[in-house]
Chain A
Amino acid sequence: MSAIPLSWFLALAGVLFAIGVFGVLTRRNAVAVLMGVELMLNACNLNLVAFWRYLHPTALDAPVFVLLVITIAAAEAAVGLAIVLSVYRNFRGIEVGELDLMKH
């Protein structure tokens, strides 16, 4: 596993993160925005594991941190989707551009 340079994994994670940012910026549907956020979280996890394997393979901080990130991503998805459901019930739509109640 030493033939591939670390920067390749970092580049893969960086491009994945940028794709997630694109999804968050351009999607109209709130669920699709959440999909972009999940892609970004995956990119961060990939970064953490790559740093662990190449820089500190004997320490276990990074795998434990990745597990905690996955836990919090699951909690975020559950609460976020519950909020989406509640918004849909009250506004009959989940287009993020139209949810401007707090502006008025």
Chain B
Amino acid sequence: MSEPLQYALFGLVAATVLVPAVLVVTVRNLVRAAFWLLPAFLGVAAAFLLLGADFLAMVQVLIYAGAIMLLLLFVLMLTRSPGDARVPQSNRLTLWAGVLCAALALAIVVITGASYWPVASSAPAPGFTRAVGEALLGPYLLPFEVASVLLLSAMVGAIVIARKEASR
């Protein structure tokens, strides 16, 4: 890719991530906020693609844009209290939280911009998905299995917690 095209793509991805993310935390209607999560997640997937991690981009679309957003929407619908769209959705901290978060973002941008990063000149080996699969079932087999057990226990735990209590 030519350089101007890369910069244009990065700008597009950054806008696709940041503008919906701001709307997610500020929009009053929470269902709309949940839907604004979708472009933010897809933008992060596009950033993964820009960085050459195609498999992670697909996982991001499947898990975040698919599963987690669906869960959030379902719980929003199940817990909707009457007149929800009219009551304010932010607490009294908004001003100070905004100042604090702007300072945090500014500090991160300035520090990362001023730091020296020993960028490697080598490119990742071709066949990213295959390499990740072999790593998961090779040197990272134990974390992989622990993660699967964690998912199973989280599933059972979520069912137990969310289930209606049997009437006694």
Q: Which residues of A contact B (CB under 8 A)?
A: 1, 3-4, 6-12, 14-23, 25-29, 31-32, 34-36, 38-39, 42, 45-46, 49-50, 52-58, 60, 63-64, 66-68, 70-79, 81-86, 88-89, 92-94, 97
Contacts and interface: CB of A to CB of B under 8 A. Distances in A.
B63 A74 contact: yes
B51 A3 contact: no
A7 B113 contact: yes
B123 interface: yes
B12 to A, nearest CB: 12
B78 interface: yes
Contacts of A88: 78-79
Contacts, number: 243
B32 to A, nearest CB: 11
Interface in B79-97: 79, 81, 88-91, 93-94, 97
Contacts of A77: 67-68, 71-72
B123 to A, nearest CB: 6
Interface of B: 1, 3, 6-7, 10, 13-14, 17-18, 21-22, 24-25, 30, 33-34, 37, 40-41, 44, 47-48, 50-53, 55-56, 59-60, 63-64, 67-68, 71-72, 74-76, 78-79, 81, 88-91, 93-94, 97-98, 100-102, 104-105, 108-109, 112-113, 115, 117-120, 122-125, 128, 131-132, 135-136, 140, 143, 147, 150-151, 154-155, 157-159, 161-162, 164
B21 A67 contact: no
Contact of B68 (A26, A38, A50): A38
B161 A83 contact: yes
Contacts of B115: 7
Contacts of B78: 85, 88
B21 A16 contact: yes
A72 B24 contact: no
Contacts of B33: 32, 35
